[in-house]
Amino acid sequence: MEVNKTELKIHKLFHRTQSVSVFDIKNVRIGEKQDVTLYDMDDKKVLTVDALSDNYNRFLKTLEFYGKYPAACK
């Protein structure tokens, strides 16, 4: 995963790279194993990021900075 200011790029094995802007995210849900699921403005699931992903902490800090991930969820 790449985190570049407001742009998130997710690289998955055998899949194409998926890009998501922080501003396109409406809702964030945290799973049992700290996996983060992102939803767009239509409440459609965009992607799920596993806690073992590269740059996971940076990803959470970016979401928190832009008000998408409340600090209380940590």
Per-residue pLDDT reduced to its tens digit, 34-62: 899 999 999 999 888 889 988 889 889 88
How many Cα atoms occupy the beta-carbon half-sphere of 51 within 13 Å? 8
Where would I find the H helices in 10-72? 56-65
Domains belonging to the chain, first-starting first, are: 2-73 (2.30.29)
For residues 8-30, average pLDDT: 86
Could you tell me the pTM of the whole model?
0.78
State residue 71's pLDDT score: 54
User: What per-residue confidence (pLDDT) applies to 74?
Assistant: 55
